Amino acid sequence: MSDATAPDDTMVDREPDSALAAVLAAAKRSDLGLVVLTLGLIYLGATLLTFTDGLNSVVGLLRTLTFLGLVYALSTLALNLHWGYTGLFNIGVAGFMAIGVYTMGIVVRSPDPAFGPPGFGLPLPVGIVAGMAMASLFGLIAALPALRLRADYFAIVTLGLSEIIRLTLQSSTFDTALRETLGVGTGGGRGMGMPQNPVRGLFLVDGRAGDPTALGAAVFGTLGEGGLGISNNILIGWGYILVLAVFVVAFYVLLERLGRSPFGRTLKAIREDELVADSLGKNVDLIKIKVFMIGCALMGLAGILWFGSQGNVSPSPQFEPILTFYIFVAVIIGGSGSNTGSVLGGIVFAAVLFEGPRRVGAVLRDTIDAPTPPTFGDAVAAADPVGLLAYATDNIAPLQFVLLGLVLIFIMHRRPDGLLGDRIETAAAVDLTRREGGERDE
């Protein structure tokens, strides 16, 4: 959030009409403010939805929404480097995330586990670096033959690769072959258990429930079961959210620096017109390979931070192409090309479009005192709005896709550039609106 504190003099200062308008105007002026404001609105909505169930439910829902928002923000930021900056139509995001988290699992898992496939038993940081490197390597493998292809063919190659990765990880033959050659395994369709989240170790000695560390005892005593009554697992979840937030900021700073540089300028030029970049002496193929590998490494890391913290991973349904689709929707909502937009898009998608409808649907269903009609036909034929609502809220998961489609159509129609797509993201390390003595972006 490099320009969060810098005054934005491209904005015309107007007298705000109301206090709310003033807050909105102030939030718009700083990227961090915009993210905080969005989160605040989501928190407000979630609190209103669940406050009757008590503090534990509210904090638990906020934890789920924040976790999803942040992991989507990470994935969206990584995809924004490919699609938003460079115009690389990568629809194999799920595959690169799977490579990252599976490599981490294989490297870190114990060579002689109580159950599940064996691993190399190396420390977690080694596993994370290996996961990123392996995702990057797979990016290279995809990029070498495919980047010379036109955008749509490139998309098909990446989609194919991601499905090959998923089906290979699911295959028990591959699992057996790995065990026989390297002595490690993927677990096939059953998947593998992930190493213990180190954040849990901060709160609990060796991660055992009921055996808190000093920090754990202090937190649990004040906020947890000894105090406000929030469950220990939710508190540990919030601890991990702080870690995720640090990674979101790190991704953001990294990508902003990449974008606001001659490198970012070349990426934009490749997105706009490859032949022009080529004719001006830029080695387009090499730059595309580089940026693809960087983005894939970030996707691998996002996969580790997301699925690696979930206890168990399995190829299906976690890494099906729908995941890539969701991440693309988040990029489009936020506005491709804008990093702040990517963070916002990830949070808004996860909370409002992905998790929100299920929660709202469940709460609404509880308030309706009517049986659910067995089929959609029955619900319509009865011509009873209560029955229809009962049917809709009971079947919110499939209807969610209808909502998603409507939102996408609305965005494409009314705001095709996404929430922040209209912003000018300068591709230079200096302020281009000033000629001399401009503020340095360093």
Partner 1 sequence: MSEPAADTDPEAADSPVEQAAQRTPSGLPLRVDGLRKEFGGITAVDGVSFEVESGSLTGLIGPNGAGKSTTFNCITGVHEPTAGDVYLNGEAITGLAPYEIAQRGLVRTFQIARELPEMTVLENLMLAPKNQQGESALRSVLPGLRGGVVDQEEQLRERAWETLEFFEIDHLATEYAGSLSGGQRKLLEMARALMTDPEVVLLDEPLAGVNPTLEEKLLDRVDDLRAEGYTFLLVEHDMDVIMHHCEHIIVMHQGQVLAEGGAEEIRTNDRVIEAYLGDDL
Q: Which residues bind partner 1 (CB under 8 A)?
A: 254, 257-258, 260-266, 268-269, 271-273, 275-284, 290-291, 294, 424, 426-430, 432-433, 435-436, 438, 440-442
The nearest distance, CB 303 to partner 1, in angstroms, is 21
The nearest distance, CB 287 to partner 1, in angstroms, is 8
* DSSP states along 124-171: HHHHHHHHHHHHHHHHHHHHHHHTTS-HHHHHHHHHHHHHHHHHHHH-
Q: Residue 14's Cα: distance from chain center in Å?
A: 36
Q: Specify the 3-state DSSP secondary structure of 193.
A: strand
| Helices 19-29 & 31-50 angle (0-180, nearest 10) | 130
The nearest distance, CB 289 to partner 1, in angstroms, is 11
Nearer to partner 1, 38 or 336 (CB): 336
Residue for token digits 């489009």?
332
Total Cβ atoms within 10 A of residue 318: 19
| Contacts within 8 Å (CB) and 24+ apart, 49-54 | 49/359, 49/360, 49/363, 50/359, 50/363, 54/229
Nearer to partner 1, 183 or 438 (CB): 438
Nearer to partner 1, 268 or 365 (CB): 268
Torsional sign, CA 39, 42, 44, 47:
negative
Nearer to partner 1, 198 or 262 (CB): 262
Nearer to partner 1, 38 or 86 (CB): 86
The nearest distance, CB 148 to partner 1, in angstroms, is 12
The nearest distance, CB 301 to partner 1, in angstroms, is 15
The nearest distance, CB 260 to partner 1, in angstroms, is 8
**Which stretch of DSSP H or E encloses residue 12?**
none
**With contact defined as beta carbons under 8 Å apart, do 291 and 82 qualify?**
yes
Nearer to partner 1, 381 or 430 (CB): 430
